[in-house]
Structure 1
Amino acid sequence: MNRITKYSIVALTILLITSSCSLFKPVSSTDPFIIDPSTPPGTIKLTNDLYIDRVPVTNLMYNEFLENIENYWSLEKHEKMKEYPRFGLEEDSVFTPWTGNTRLYMQVNHQNPEEMITTKLNMENYANSPFFQWHPVVNISRKQAELYCLWRTDLANAVYAMKSKNASRRSIFPYQVKFRLPTQKEMIAAQNKLEREYKLTKYQEQIYAYTGDFGLFRRMQDNKGQMTILEIKEIAKDTVFNAMLDRRLSYYEQEELKTGFRCICEVTKEQKN
């Protein structure tokens, strides 16, 4: 098995998630993985055409993004991917090694790895330690978050094309998905709607501790029927806002809140004429 194949098997099981849920799900011993076409991975449905991430983007997912930029994806590749076929796409087309992307990689990487998240935890340790891989990525700029959404859009549509051998198979998936930052208005509407439907979970305890139940954050993300908000600020398309909105903070003070982000996903069901 060559390097690209080894990488893609790993990448395709996690690259489209903002949590531990995979694009694939086991179905049988003869066909071990298929794509669930009903919901973009890691999201919860808001309307027929709009889905939102169940949790903020995690360190695991942002590091996957960084690895792709370092090795495979670029803004030039983004333009090329617009012309990719909608089915029968070869993995090598997506995961062809790419060099010369140092400037973009530096732009999207954490700007100050020595910055302290707490008095005992710096940014580099938090971003890269396996203990914190399911925790929300923080201290990301709006530009970095927008590039993440662009990359995720490219990879999502490419995976549909790779897993579809023909037009009939491709037709069971959305014609196109587009990940982007939500507006504050969309985020407020999403939280209000999901809270009314008992699908909103509020986590208001310590996030950046060395001790504690690190598996808790992964279990949060395994809960496909809930969207979780944390005591962090989130980047919206038009502002940065406190994800708890008007709720009383239980653990952190306003000035202690770190900044993360989540994506919203626009789904096009059919080709528009």
Structure 2
Amino acid sequence: MTKITKYSIVIILLISLTSSCGLFQSVDANDPYQEDPSTPPGTIMLTEDLYIDRVPVTNLMYKEFLSNVENYWSLEKHEKLKSFPRYDVDKDSVFIPWTGNTRLLMEVTHQDPRKMITTKLSMGNYTSSPFFQWHPVVDISKEQAELYCLWRTDLANSVYAIKSKNKSQRARFPYKVKYRLPTQREVVAAQNKLEREFKLTKYQDQIYAYTGDFSLFRRMQDDQNQMTIMEIKEIAKDGVYNSLLDRKLEYYDQEELKTGFRCICEILDEDDVVALDD
């Protein structure tokens, strides 16, 4: 009988959770690459060096972040990862459990799980129920969203290094990615561009109800050719905006809109990284 230790359980949990961002897919498979390794996980292309999340960050993606903060990631770990090699990295050297930060975990966790999203749904049930795992995470502060982006940057670059056994394999991935909050101007430009290309989907229906198609929100995330906007507000680098911009609301009233966020991703080359380090 195989002995399952606390350490192995944590590693299994990390691998299963990180698959929600598409980061750990095929880490141990014979083909260690995604279908398009040049595209940062979960995003759609805007320009050669700029991508945006196809959907707002989901409850499952944010739960992955919380699990990583609890089990291994911290701002100290963020600094250590800067010195890691770009390829031939053992995943056990990156995902070392029990080195997280309790205070940081408290800072990034939802503050009031008893807060009601609707008259029938609490924040705690919304964030923990399997039914809502693919729905947008809401009630997140700008500071929490920025920490999520920082962690996601570390995770993506670490997984590229884990998937690459040599310099040639590493060259198939971006030199480095940086997730951050978009500016409102970037969001407007992204939506206009993708709408012209028929790659913009507007979801204007119930978000917080136990009705409808259970797998719809999962399919939105998995559609690599569409960016989905919803009747929520989103956090930007320079303020909070209505994600539907100037489009008419069809289901929720303005005062009912909850606040979530999505990331934009920059592709950095070696010169960009050197300039940042300087």
Q: Does TM, normalized by the shorter one, top 0.5?
A: yes
Alpha carbons 2:19, 2:25 under 8 Å: kept: no
Q: How far has the Cα of 1:34 moved from its partner? A: 2.4
Alpha carbons 2:233, 2:243 under 8 Å: kept: yes
In structure 2, what is the Cα distance between the partners aligned to 1:2 and 1:165? 28
The answer to whether residue 228 in structure 2 is matched with residue 228 in structure 1 is yes
Instruction: Output one character per residue of 1:125-147: Cα deviation in whole Å (capped at 9) or x when no partner.
Output: 00010010000000000000000
What is residue 249 of structure 2 aligned with on the other side? 249
In structure 2, what is the Cα distance between the partners aligned to 1:30 and 1:162? 12
Letter of the aligned partner of 2:33 in structure 1? I
What is residue 205 of structure 1 aligned with on the other side? 205
Q: How far has the Cα of 1:15 moved from its partner? A: 2.2
Instruction: Output one character per residue of 1:177-218: Cα deviation in whole Å (capped at 9) or x when no partner.
Output: 000000000001100100011000000001000222221111
Q: How far has the Cα of 1:169 moved from its partner? A: 1.1
Give matches, 1:1-273, under 5 Å.
4=7, 7-8=10-11, 11-12=14-15, 14-15=17-18, 17-18=20-21, 22-23=22-23, 31=30, 33-35=32-34, 36-99=36-99, 101-272=101-272
In structure 2, what is the Cα distance between the partners aligned to 1:51 and 1:247? 23
In structure 2, what is the Cα distance between the partners aligned to 1:115 and 1:152? 27
Cα distance change on mapping 1:5 and 1:168 into 2, 3 Å:
farther
Alpha carbons 2:135, 2:217 under 8 Å: kept: yes
Number of residue-to-residue matches in the alignment? 269
* Higher mean C-alpha deviation, range 193-202 or range 95-104: 95-104
In structure 1, what is the Cα distance between the partners aligned to 2:7 and 2:164? 19
Alpha carbons 1:4, 1:95 under 8 Å: kept: no
Letter of the aligned partner of 1:195 in structure 2? E
In structure 2, what is the Cα distance between the partners aligned to 1:256 and 1:106? 27
Letter of the aligned partner of 1:267 in structure 2? I
Letter of the aligned partner of 1:160 in structure 2? Y
In structure 1, what is the Cα distance between the partners aligned to 2:259 and 2:42? 20
Q: How far has the Cα of 1:98 moved from its partner? A: 2.6
TM-score, normalising length: structure 1: 0.92
In structure 1, what is the Cα distance between the partners aligned to 2:97 and 2:91? 12
Letter of the aligned partner of 2:204 in structure 1? Q
* Higher mean C-alpha deviation, range 164-173 or range 114-123: 164-173
Query: Could you say what the CA RMSD is over the residues aligned between the two structures, in angstroms?
Result: 2.2
Alpha carbons 2:44, 2:51 under 8 Å: kept: yes
In structure 2, what is the Cα distance between the partners aligned to 1:181 and 1:144? 11
Letter of the aligned partner of 1:11 in structure 2? L
Cα distance change on mapping 1:215 and 1:209 into 2, 3 Å:
same
Q: How far has the Cα of 1:5 moved from its partner? A: 5.6
Q: How far has the Cα of 1:93 moved from its partner? A: 1.5
Unaligned ranges ≥5, structure 2? none
* Higher mean C-alpha deviation, range 31-40 or range 133-142: 31-40
Q: How far has the Cα of 1:271 moved from its partner? A: 4.6
In structure 1, what is the Cα distance between the partners aligned to 2:25 and 2:93? 24
Alpha carbons 2:55, 2:229 under 8 Å: kept: yes
TM-score, normalising length: structure 2: 0.90
Instruction: Output one character per residue of 1:93-113: Cα deviation in whole Å (capped at 9) or x when no partner.
Output: 111123461110000000111
- Helix, strand or coil at the partner of 1:192: helix
Alpha carbons 1:55, 1:221 under 8 Å: kept: yes
Alpha carbons 1:175, 1:271 under 8 Å: kept: no
Letter of the aligned partner of 2:169 in structure 1? R
In structure 2, what is the Cα distance between the partners aligned to 1:24 and 1:124? 27
Identity %: 68
Alpha carbons 2:73, 2:100 under 8 Å: kept: no
In structure 1, what is the Cα distance between the partners aligned to 2:111 and 2:172? 41
Alpha carbons 1:146, 1:181 under 8 Å: kept: yes
Q: How far has the Cα of 1:16 moved from its partner? A: 6.7
